Structure 1
Amino acid sequence: MTRKLSAGPTALSLIPLIAGAAWVGCGGGEPPSDEGTVSDAPPQFETTEVAEGVYQFRWIGHNALFVVTSEGVVAFDPISVEAAATYAEEIRRVAPEAELAAIVYSHRDADHATGAEVLREAFGADVPIYAHENADGPLREAADPDLPPPTSTFAETMTLAGGEIELHYLGRSHSDDMAVAFLPAHGLAFAVDFVSRDRFGYQDLASFHFPDMFGAIEGLLEIPFETIVFGHGPSGDRAAIERQLTYYRDLDAGVRDAVEAGLSEDETAATVVMADYSHWDRYDDWRELNVRGMHRKLSAAGVGEDGEGEHGEGGEEREGEHGAGREGRGEHEGEGREGGGEHGGEGGHGEGEEGEESGEYLGRAETWDATRRGARLVLSYDPAREAFAGTVENTTGETLCAVRVEVHLSTGTELGPTERTDLAPGGSTAVEMAAGGEAFERWTAHPEMSACAAR
């Protein structure tokens, strides 16, 4: 159930339309024209009921959440001093008889946690503040009166209001103190900054912890929510989180390929275009920054050094489904164009064959003949047809599942991927990709595959 609430008579969200009246609306857009029309700009704040007794409070581009529980209102993320003043008014308007039982920080970042004292002054100075234990020390050291330290902390999990609210710590993600809220009765979660609905990660991912990030998102998917409210942007569902996880896996894989191929940060930023995510929010603003940030993280971790391709900030090899280990990208591999979870092979030439992800592109007239994880790709460019043609063959004794092929041109254009196909032992399939008259000088290619589903 979603129902938007209009503000009461004294709330700032009422936009006066009386001719000649002062412009005191909260949208921050243009004032009404002489014809009395109002700008399409959204109001500065908005309170929306996202489940019974559960409300999203949006202040410009930030979202908070408050819950009317049996013990009073629990408010997440005051956002700012200015926002918190309106936040308090909205809580009073929605639940005029309720007291504020608790304030919860999703994490200690100032753009989400500032303003707790304003809420406490509105409802009582003894209102407790909860946060993950890693938030406590830095906030005490900062000694910011507008962002007080928590009065109580937790390490792994905590329940509030007799279990109506659960707080979970899923490990390092956007920060090392991220608390995720879950409301079991509503099947609703609240998660901030490390996930969102179809939106790129913040700028160059400087504060994001990889590969821990993969584990945190997978941990979120283990919580049985159906609806999720984010710290920014519209709410979503489980599929939104699955897409977010796939995006970061694809980003890791695409950039890892480039690093292992010896491409510089600038070259990687120009070639890893994440085309399947071009419709996502902030693509134009943050796509390149995301790629650059991931390049720095992987380079710092030693990826690409002597073909070793370590995975993660500490250079550790990761296994399983966390999108970092080569064998572990599993079923989510390759859902995005740059993604291709199996990009980059095992490092170097893989199985000692010439040309596979060696860091050297082939000339237009050269033939690609290399094997990756048992898939032998033989491919060449036919200038008369302006297309690449060849075969991919299973050289192993087991079925290779969901095999597909991509070609990367030196111009930055990607061709493919081809449709996925299962290859039986010894089986092969034809590969053909039109180049569309692209004026390239060099090219590289690779097959990809996913883990086989249980039969």
Structure 2
Amino acid sequence: MTRKRSLDSTVTTLLVWVAAASWVGCGGGEAASDEPAGAASADAPPQFETTEVAEGVYQFRWIGHNALFVVTSEEVFAFDPISVEAAATYAEEIRRVAPGAELAAIVYSHRDADHATGAEVLREAFGADVPIYAHENADAPLREAADPNLPPPTSTFAETMTLAGGEIELHYLGRSHSDDMAVAFLPAHGLAFAVDFVSRDRFGYMDLASFHFPDMFGAIEGLLEIPFETIVFGHGPSGDRATIERQLTYYRDLDAGVRGAVEAGLSEDETAATVLLEDYSHWDRYDDWRELNVRGMHRKLSAAGAGEDEEEGEGGEEGEGEHGREGREGGEGSGEHDREGEGREGSGEHDGNGGEHGGEGGHDEGDEGEESGEYLGRAETWDATRRGARLILSYDPGREAFAGTVENTTGETLCAVRVEVHLSSGTELGPTQRADLAPGAAAEVELAVGGEAFERWTAHPEMSPCAT
């Protein structure tokens, strides 16, 4: 088949107007700078757009999430359907860019619901037998979650996999934002696709609850060993090798600054007030997530015993072997998936999310896209218990808000309990303010939707280890 393009320009965009609040709520990045006159302004970015980032390689952005599809001579390979709503438009865009092409495969970057949901929509558009590929750690949690909109993979890989006769490589670099993260590399284009654990000059998601440290250092170092020149991210604008080097430096600086504070005996509050990371004040989400990043790292280092594993904390630079990951890939991210109690992943974490939620050290602190994998209709009520926190929640259309309670069903205090809701549109609501819940205590939950359109939703409580 000869690939046809409807436009000669390198950027083809189909615009649909949405309120700016939807973009901000999803943590969206920058809108394309080369949009035609009269397109969305900074105050009203387009809901989606398709951009050719290399010959035959397209980034599909839906609100604040990015997917990638690759058009070969006769077939298309699609990464991350994002959501049910996004996948419907995604399919239309693939057909527009490559009319008549077969969809050869769907690839999950990881099992988080805000990236992997919607595969069945693509299958309905292109054929029920379209295979789904993912890292092996995604398989069991997705089968357990049994979400028809987030089906388990039909084929998995452990370390590497090649598709399209070697045009596409999939790499597993160890635990990072999840324990099942697949990084795609297109050798002919020098282009990589990496989701959630790296981005361009942006702070890590909130309090880093889903991030596995010190494994993150090894994963980012491993990414730098892949000979890419351009990299597309799951959120925000694309970058280059220097982007990833800056990301690694940031996490090392965060680790060093917080580690010094912990070793000096500073409390979490004191550390949050003193580790300002001013060299990164120009980065995206500095005002929103700088303090949360510091607090999250303080909890992780305190729980692990700051100073006891400094070599590991530096990414295992000494003695870890190839990619700084040997001894990590086999034990931490394979087999047991290191997800017990993670709440979403093993139980359908974001479900599907990928372990990234579980945090470090088995604390399951919750994280970006930490849903359980189970999505409800607008009129249904959520009633589930996670790590002793029973969340009862429903949508009140009159108030345009989710309302309910979260209750401690255990005999011990649950610390820093908060609640998030994830809409099928890709928008994340919350988290609510942190609250310590004594045994038997409950707290009211209310999260405003803000006019966001959605059909389905999922929710989860998060919590952090209590200070000792």
- Unpaired segments of 5 or more residues in structure 2? 1-7, 22-37, 325-468
Alpha-carbon distance in structure 2 between the residues aligned to 1:201 and 1:272: 15
Q: Corresponding residue for 2:229?
A: 226
- Which of 123, 126, 135 lines up with 2:126 in the alignment? 123
| 1:54-453 alignment, distance < 5 Å | 54-303=57-306, 308-311=307-310, 318-320=316-318
Q: 1:100 to 1:290 in 2, by over 3 A?
A: same
Alpha-carbon distance in structure 2 between the residues aligned to 1:246 and 1:70: 39
Alpha-carbon distance in structure 1 between the residues aligned to 2:56 and 2:209: 36
SS in 2 for 1:203: coil
Alpha-carbon distance in structure 2 between the residues aligned to 1:38 and 1:211: 41
Cα offsets for 1:264-309 (capped at 9, x unmatched): 0000000000000000000011100000000000001111xxxx54
Displacement of 1:29 after TM fit? 4.5
The letter of the residue matching 1:220 is L
Displacement of 1:27 after TM fit? 3.1
Q: 1:37 to 1:193 in 2, by over 3 A?
A: closer
Are positions 1:26 and 2:17 aligned together?
Answer: yes
- Which of 10, 15, 22 lines up with 1:3 in the alignment? 10
Cα offsets for 1:46-88 (capped at 9, x unmatched): 1000000000000000000000023510000000000000000
Taking structure 1 as the reference length, the TM-score comes to 0.62
Q: Corresponding residue for 2:26?
A: none
Displacement of 1:236 after TM fit? 0.3
SS in 2 for 1:285: helix
Note if contact 2:198-2:247 (Cα within 8 Å) is conserved in structure 1: yes
Alpha-carbon distance in structure 2 between the residues aligned to 1:319 and 1:37: 48
Note if contact 1:139-1:147 (Cα within 8 Å) is conserved in structure 2: yes
SS in 1 for 2:310: coil
- Unpaired segments of 5 or more residues in structure 1? 8-12, 14-24, 31-35, 326-455
Taking structure 2 as the reference length, the TM-score comes to 0.61
Alpha-carbon distance in structure 2 between the residues aligned to 1:71 and 1:294: 47
Alpha-carbon distance in structure 2 between the residues aligned to 1:80 and 1:317: 33
Note if contact 1:2-1:50 (Cα within 8 Å) is conserved in structure 2: no
Note if contact 2:17-2:40 (Cα within 8 Å) is conserved in structure 1: no
Q: Corresponding residue for 1:340?
A: none
Note if contact 1:70-1:161 (Cα within 8 Å) is conserved in structure 2: no
The letter of the residue matching 2:58 is Y
Q: 1:2 to 1:155 in 2, by over 3 A?
A: farther
Note if contact 1:171-1:178 (Cα within 8 Å) is conserved in structure 2: yes
Alpha-carbon distance in structure 2 between the residues aligned to 1:204 and 1:211: 15
The letter of the residue matching 2:51 is T
SS in 1 for 2:58: strand
The letter of the residue matching 1:106 is S
Q: 1:37 to 1:291 in 2, by over 3 A?
A: closer
Q: 1:79 to 1:312 in 2, by over 3 A?
A: farther
Alpha-carbon distance in structure 2 between the residues aligned to 1:224 and 1:69: 21
Note if contact 1:76-1:105 (Cα within 8 Å) is conserved in structure 2: yes
Note if contact 1:217-1:245 (Cα within 8 Å) is conserved in structure 2: yes
Displacement of 1:42 after TM fit? 1.1
The letter of the residue matching 2:12 is L
Q: 1:317 to 1:110 in 2, by over 3 A?
A: closer
The letter of the residue matching 1:245 is L
Alpha-carbon distance in structure 2 between the residues aligned to 1:259 and 1:168: 35
Displacement of 1:174 after TM fit? 0.4
Note if contact 1:227-1:235 (Cα within 8 Å) is conserved in structure 2: yes
Q: 1:37 to 1:135 in 2, by over 3 A?
A: closer
Alpha-carbon distance in structure 1 between the residues aligned to 2:69 and 2:241: 21
Displacement of 1:28 after TM fit? 2.8
Q: 1:89 to 1:255 in 2, by over 3 A?
A: same
Alpha-carbon distance in structure 2 between the residues aligned to 1:222 and 1:87: 31
Q: 1:54 to 1:319 in 2, by over 3 A?
A: closer
Alpha-carbon distance in structure 2 between the residues aligned to 1:82 and 1:62: 12
The letter of the residue matching 1:167 is L
Aligned residues: 297
Displacement of 1:254 after TM fit? 0.2
Alpha-carbon distance in structure 1 between the residues aligned to 2:242 and 2:157: 29
Alpha-carbon distance in structure 1 between the residues aligned to 2:120 and 2:311: 39
The letter of the residue matching 1:5 is T
Cα offsets for 1:173-192 (capped at 9, x unmatched): 00000000000000000000
Highest RCO, 1 vs 2 (Cα 8 Å, sep ≥ 6): 2
Q: 1:168 to 1:2 in 2, by over 3 A?
A: farther
Note if contact 2:206-2:292 (Cα within 8 Å) is conserved in structure 1: yes
Note if contact 2:311-2:318 (Cα within 8 Å) is conserved in structure 1: no
Displacement of 1:97 after TM fit? 1.9
Displacement of 1:138 after TM fit? 0.3
Note if contact 1:260-1:309 (Cα within 8 Å) is conserved in structure 2: no
Q: 1:143 to 1:187 in 2, by over 3 A?
A: same
CA RMSD of aligned residues (A): 2.3
SS in 2 for 1:206: coil
Displacement of 1:39 after TM fit? 4.8
The letter of the residue matching 2:229 is E
